[in-house]
Structure 1
Amino acid sequence: MEKRELSFWQIWNMSFGFLGIQFGFALQNANTSRIFETLGAKVDEIPILWIAAPVTGLVIQPIIGYFSDRTWTRLGRRRPYFLIGAILSSIALFIMPNSPSLWIAAGTLWMMDASINISMEPFRAFVGDNLPEKQRTLGFAMQSFFIGLGAVVGSLLPYIFTNVFGVSNTATEGIIPDSVKWSFYIGGVVFLLAVLWTVFKSTEYTPAELEAFEQKDKDTKEVAPIETELEAKANIKRQFNLGLIMSLLGSVISFLIYENELTKELYILFVGLIMIGILFMVSARLRVVQIKNGFTIIMTDLLNMPNTMKKLAWVQFFSWFALFSMWIYTTQAVTQHIFGTTDTTSKVYNDAADWVSVLFTVYNGVAAAVAFLLPVIAKKVGVRYTHLLALCFGGVGLLSIYFIGDKYLLLIPMLGVGIAWASILSMPYAMLSGALPAAKMGYYMGVFNFFVVIPQIVAATILGFIVKQFFQNEPIYALLIGGVSMIFAGLLTLRVNNRTKIEIHE
């Protein structure tokens, strides 16, 4: 059996839900720091408040992936998760701009990000499930197009409400402006409607069909052979020892943080390392007594990732570290470095914050515009080199912001960021999907998200400390760090051996 090739419009329908998902992400990314600062957060406190987003993704995505691999309902395999996540996300989008206090806003961000992750994670596996390998680059490019398009409108909504409809973009201290509130309301409605379109306009292969596809091409996948009893014992020992090392390392560094009275945010990173180490050790002990369940499978398969995935993990780490530094600090960098203000109640500050929405709109618009160009370039020079070039464009863009003093010139760096963003959303997944077994597509796509969220956790725990201790709370330097990180990610792409076949259009 072979998967049938889908038409352009069938791929369009199965990707359309990402339009709504990105509405939610765009509003979150462009306005969350603004909401936190309006509710009283200081510049060095903002990264730790953002920690909800990556921590939620780290926990939710592999679990959702694991269960969606094993789900089959009248709505199919992945689509029930699209729908549940969309309903919860829409509710959170209505609550977020009405938060009466900083901690309620932080809690709502946690709820919103968990809900968005429930919808988003199965969408990546959806492409792998439904498309033959030669159409997957087009499938992920289509997702990039909708991500870019949704982000354009979502990011621009506060600016549109202020400058087109005359809705106020200022408010009294501690109150979110009406332009932001109405943007979130519209986002909640669009999120739900777009996902409903994909749910009812797409179909899925049955588990039996997917198993037949997997059986046919299993020889081309990087799937580990069945373990012998001796190999299983060695693997269990390796899992336990790795967990022990992680726990000890986390404990030692946490003690040093305590002894030297370093910033408390650093505890999150290393206490998290301790907890993951403990989970590895528990899983290993359960395997010794031959207990096999969802928990042991999830923890064990982390050690059996395909080689392509391991190499792409480093590319993702430094790419998303750069993106998270941009999302956290662009508002503060622009308001301080370009507009020269930190007064959140002033018109200058809120005009600057609205301009950040415009900048985010530009890079997302560029991403949408080049989404279908990247597969054409990849067909000629290869996926690796395409991703390398795109990330270098993005890194140079972030670095150049430091040297700009005019708000209109800030549009130029966003061109490079947009090219990088389009590639980050498609090329790594195109390279990865051909290396994954169909039966674990959802799980490994969820695990791949570790290397999206771990760098975000690292950024959230150390960027505030670095900016405060070494750069006198000047957030522009966080963008410089992000630029260097993105270029390094591009260079790491050259380590990935990829055999992805690319088809532009059928």
Structure 2
Amino acid sequence: MEQGGSNEVMAPLWKIIAIAAIAAGIQFGWALQLSLLTPYSQQLGVPHMWASFIWLCGPISGLLVQPIVGYFSDRTKSRFGRRRPYILGGAGFVGVAVFLIGFAADLGHMGGDSLDSPMKPRAVAIFVVGFWILDVANNMLQGPCRALLADLSAHNHKRMRVANAFFSFFMAVGNVLGYAAGSLPNLHKFLPFTTTVACDVYCANLKTSFLIHIVFISTVTITAISLVKETVHPAQKEFADGEPEPSTPFRKEVTTAFKNMSRPMWLLYLVTALNWIAWFPFLLYDTDWMGHEVYGGKPQGTNTEKRLYGLGVQAGALGLMLNAVILGFASLVIEPIGKLVGGVKRWWGIVNIILAIGLFCTIPVTRMAEAYRAAHGLVPPPANIKGGALSIFSILGIPLSVTFSIPFALASIYSSSSGAGQGLSLGVLNMAIVIPQMIVSVVSGKIDQAFGGGNLPAFIMGGVAAVMSALMAAFLLPNQPPSQASVPALMAGGGH
């Protein structure tokens, strides 16, 4: 059995599964964000090239919130535990945020927005505020959840990998449910009051989905934190009985974390950063690509164009649901496949090549759809074109399972072996995820606009980054990081 140099007793597997299940609640809302909110923001009047700037809130909040929450959750001395107060608080903020987003059109109309104007400034303002709160809340939830999984694993490296694989699996479950909700055209009939004079059928479906999200995340979070009690491990006592704590995480602790970072950890962060430069354009614009390029619709156009755009967004949500199904199955076999191909670093390289191929394949699918519309007019694409697009969504579930699991497992192993706090270490890792997202959010809209307003340029940029990430993962991540007794076994593909 692999050990991380600790005598702590591992929690039962069911406790790890209970905490990992919170990921389903987090990802349900994230799936709704990815599938519905970019089109929704454009329906409120936000131009396509500016839509990406709204998504800056996620990276910025992640840059600030996860390290801060991680730092304080490492040091919290509450009788309720270190991580659980932040998890519960994050879930509460999620409820507030999705209420603001779902009711933005209604609240904007109550505040004076005209139904005849394509731009609804008050609704946009409420939407953006809700969007920012939602991303802050998701970061409050996700970081402490992963840190608690590491705590429950008692620094056992194999159990950490298993815990992160379960977290990735439940993310897939949340994705399936969220994308399924986003793809149902008549979900609003479940809650008829969601349809109002300011909120059409598409808006009402979104509102209903988010109300379901409130109930779902509340249920899984309260259940998990009620069943799983935290205990003080020996590694935690350094903060309770040790030297005086620094005044802020950024002034000392984060700086120290970067100064003391080993070369393997720097390489891990660089591979992760390139990986997210590859992923974020697709995650940001996937349903918009289906509505605009594949189906030929527009969020602000004729009735036919609006109808086609809506059909495309729903088809994109279906594609994301298929993606999530593949993600779930792939998450459960990361460990054995890593052993089969010679190590998880090699598997990470392989799946990034799959990611690059998928992103590049959006080009021929788009060209075929354009050729079909040129010959037949504004009609939905035939089955072969739609099937090609959905195949891209589906196959990308394989690399996404690795992206959601392996970097976090490696970061937990490094931090446990060095004695660093799990919360802060995972918060610092999050910087390698959110800074690339900030870059993509700033440049992708301008790049797309410079090349005619479509989504392909950003996808191509992502494909190039995926190839670079694949090469670095396969050839530069070391097989034997220094002073890590158990990490070589992980990097080489296993060992028990």
Query: TM-score normalised to the size of structure 2?
Result: 0.80
Shift of 1:210: 4.3
Query: Structure 2: how far apart are the matches of 1:505 and 1:98?
Result: 52
2:159 is matched with 135
Contact 1:467/1:477, CA 8 A, preserved across alignment: yes
Of 40, 55, 59, the match for 1:54: 59
Shift of 1:201: 2.0
Query: Structure 1: how far apart are the matches of 2:295 and 2:195?
Result: 17
Cα–Cα, structure 1 residues 293 and 352, in superposed 2: closer, same or farther, change >3 Å?
A: closer
* 1:431 lines up with 2:453 in the alignment: no
Cα–Cα, structure 1 residues 205 and 379, in superposed 2: closer, same or farther, change >3 Å?
A: farther
What are the Cα deviations for residues 6-58 of structure 1, in whole angstroms up to 9, with x where unaligned? 44423211211111111121111211101111100111111111111111111
SS at match of 1:177: helix
What are the Cα deviations for residues 315-339 of structure 1, in whole angstroms up to 9, with x where unaligned? 1112112221012222222222111
Query: Structure 1: how far apart are the matches of 2:208 and 2:163?
Result: 32
Cα–Cα, structure 1 residues 370 and 313, in superposed 2: closer, same or farther, change >3 Å?
A: same
Shift of 1:211: 5.1
* 1:485 lines up with 2:465 in the alignment: yes
Of 421, 435, 440, the match for 1:459: 440
**Which one is further off, 393-402 or 137-146?**
393-402
2:31 is matched with 26
* 1:106 lines up with 2:121 in the alignment: no
Taking only aligned residues, the RMSD between alpha carbons, in angstroms, comes to 2.6
SS at match of 2:38: helix
What are the Cα deviations for residues 223-260 of structure 1, in whole angstroms up to 9, with x where unaligned? xxxxxxxxxxxxxxxxxxxxxxxxxxxxxxxxxxxxxx
Q: How many residues align?
A: 428
2:224 is matched with 198
Contact 2:150/2:160, CA 8 A, preserved across alignment: yes
Contact 2:292/2:312, CA 8 A, preserved across alignment: no
Query: Structure 2: how far apart are the matches of 1:390 and 1:415?
Result: 13
1:474 is matched with 454
SS at match of 2:279: helix
Residue 409 of structure 2 aligns with an amino acid whose one-letter code is A
1:278 is matched with none
Query: Structure 2: how far apart are the matches of 1:106 and 1:505?
Result: 47
Cα–Cα, structure 1 residues 387 and 174, in superposed 2: closer, same or farther, change >3 Å?
A: same
Residue 298 of structure 1 aligns with an amino acid whose one-letter code is E
Shift of 1:402: 1.7
Residue 284 of structure 2 aligns with an amino acid whose one-letter code is I
Shift of 1:167: 8.1
* 1:126 lines up with 2:148 in the alignment: yes
* 1:393 lines up with 2:354 in the alignment: yes
Contact 2:98/2:214, CA 8 A, preserved across alignment: yes
Shift of 1:61: 0.6
Shift of 1:416: 2.6
Shift of 1:358: 0.9
Shift of 1:203: 3.2
Contact 2:61/2:136, CA 8 A, preserved across alignment: yes
**Which one is further off, 40-49 or 95-104?**
95-104
Query: Structure 2: how far apart are the matches of 1:57 and 1:178?
Result: 29
1:242-321 equivalent positions in 2, closer than 5 A: 293-301=248-256, 302-321=258-277
Cα–Cα, structure 1 residues 177 and 295, in superposed 2: closer, same or farther, change >3 Å?
A: closer
Residue 151 of structure 2 aligns with an amino acid whose one-letter code is D
2:374 is matched with none
Contact 1:134/1:500, CA 8 A, preserved across alignment: no
Residue 138 of structure 1 aligns with an amino acid whose one-letter code is V
2:180 is matched with 156
Residue 12 of structure 1 aligns with an amino acid whose one-letter code is I
* 1:440 lines up with 2:421 in the alignment: yes
Query: Structure 2: how far apart are the matches of 1:74 and 1:184?
Result: 32
Query: Structure 1: how far apart are the matches of 2:207 and 2:23?
Result: 22
Query: Structure 2: how far apart are the matches of 1:134 and 1:170?
Result: 49
Q: Give percent identity, aligned residues only.
A: 25
Cα–Cα, structure 1 residues 74 and 461, in superposed 2: closer, same or farther, change >3 Å?
A: same
What are the Cα deviations for residues 358-405 of structure 1, in whole angstroms up to 9, with x where unaligned? 111111111111111111112332110111112221221121122124
Residue 349 of structure 2 aligns with an amino acid whose one-letter code is L
Shift of 1:296: 2.1
2:284 is matched with 328
Query: Structure 2: how far apart are the matches of 1:306 and 1:438?
Result: 13
1:78 is matched with 83
Cα–Cα, structure 1 residues 98 and 420, in superposed 2: closer, same or farther, change >3 Å?
A: same
Cα–Cα, structure 1 residues 140 and 461, in superposed 2: closer, same or farther, change >3 Å?
A: same
Contact 1:133/1:501, CA 8 A, preserved across alignment: no
Contact 2:83/2:145, CA 8 A, preserved across alignment: yes
Contact 1:136/1:430, CA 8 A, preserved across alignment: yes
Contact 2:68/2:427, CA 8 A, preserved across alignment: yes
Query: Structure 1: how far apart are the matches of 2:177 and 2:351?
Result: 23
**Which one is further off, 175-184 or 42-51?**
175-184
* 1:178 lines up with 2:204 in the alignment: yes
Residue 475 of structure 1 aligns with an amino acid whose one-letter code is N
Query: Structure 2: how far apart are the matches of 1:52 and 1:16?
Result: 25
Query: Structure 2: how far apart are the matches of 1:315 and 1:337?
Result: 30
Residue 308 of structure 1 aligns with an amino acid whose one-letter code is P
Residue 127 of structure 1 aligns with an amino acid whose one-letter code is L
Contact 2:168/2:405, CA 8 A, preserved across alignment: yes
Contact 2:297/2:307, CA 8 A, preserved across alignment: no
Contact 2:40/2:203, CA 8 A, preserved across alignment: no
Task: Give 5+ residue unaligned stretches, structure 2.
Answer: 1-5, 109-122, 239-245, 370-384, 480-486
Query: TM-score normalised to the size of structure 1?
Result: 0.79
**Which one is further off, 37-46 or 198-207?**
198-207
**Which one is further off, 307-316 or 63-72?**
307-316
Shift of 1:166: 8.0
Cα–Cα, structure 1 residues 167 and 421, in superposed 2: closer, same or farther, change >3 Å?
A: same
Residue 311 of structure 1 aligns with an amino acid whose one-letter code is L
Residue 421 of structure 1 aligns with an amino acid whose one-letter code is L
What are the Cα deviations for residues 404-438 of structure 1, in whole angstroms up to 9, with x where unaligned? 24112212112331011110011111222211144
* 1:402 lines up with 2:363 in the alignment: yes
Task: Give 5+ residue unaligned stretches, structure 1.
Answer: 213-290
Of 423, 427, 450, the match for 2:431: 450
Residue 152 of structure 1 aligns with an amino acid whose one-letter code is V
Query: Structure 1: how far apart are the matches of 2:317 and 2:449?
Result: 25
1:273 is matched with none
